[in-house]
Amino acid sequence: MPQTANRIFCSGPRAVFRQFLADDRGAITVDWVVLTATVVGIGIAVFTSVSAGLYTLGDDVGEHIADVEVRELGTVN
């Protein structure tokens, strides 16, 4: 006898809904989607919090480089 547990044999919308809630096929896909969304969210949060500091650091380095005086070769001061 073929297995009929995965087939839908219902007599109304309530039975369809109950069977939908009881079906666990695809649950691992949902877990991976939630896990991936969490990792992406954490990455965005880290980038957002660190980016302001990186821009400030870059500006400070640029100002320091701009203030450096370049001398000709062969001169000592």
Domain count, the chain: 1
Distance CA 19, CA 35 (A): 26
Q: What is the tens place of the pLDDT at every residue in 3-41? A: 555 555 557 888 888 887 888 787 788 889 999 999 999
Range of the domain at 32: 26-67
What global pTM score does this model have? 0.49
Alpha carbons 62 and 68: distance in angstroms, whole number: 10
In a domain, 43, yes or no: yes
Only one residue has tokens 């701009």, namely 66
63, part of any domain = yes
Let me know if residue 35 belongs to a domain. yes
Indicate whether 34 belongs to any domain.
Answer: yes
| Distance (Å, whole) CA 57 – CA 52 | 9
For the stretch 39-69, pLDDT in tens is 999 999 999 999 888 889 999 999 999 988 8
Which phi and psi angles does 76 have, rounded to 5°?
-125, 125
The answer to the question of residue 13 being in a domain is no
